[in-house]
Amino acid sequence: MANVAFRPPADCCDTYDPSSAETRGALRARLLEVAGLSELFKVLGDETRTRILYLLSLRELCVCDIAEIMEMSLPAVS
């Protein structure tokens, strides 16, 4: 992302406060914390993976236990 000075459109804000650029910069930096979060949502978008994660949140299970509980083959679970 290019580091370009931001100027809001005239109809965007009643006032433009240059000191708020510091706040925007801090918020922009916080966006880095969610890098990769979309990948997590993609994983959770798969119902089988979500069900496996749910089972593992309840207790520790091995692949063979998960396969039996979910009535799936070992390769499908692993």
For the stretch 21-61, pLDDT in tens is 778 888 888 888 888 888 888 888 999 999 999 999 999 99
Q: Provide the token pair at 56.
A: 């593992």
**Residue 3: pLDDT band by 50, 70, 90 thresholds?**
low
User: What's the pLDDT score for residue 1?
Assistant: 54
Distances (CA, A) of 17 to 4, 14, 39, 69: 17, 10, 36, 58
pTM (2 d.p.): 0.54
- Sole residue written with tokens 């979910």: 70
Contact (Cβ atoms closer than 8 angstroms) between residue 23 and residue 17: no
d(CA 33, CA 77): 30
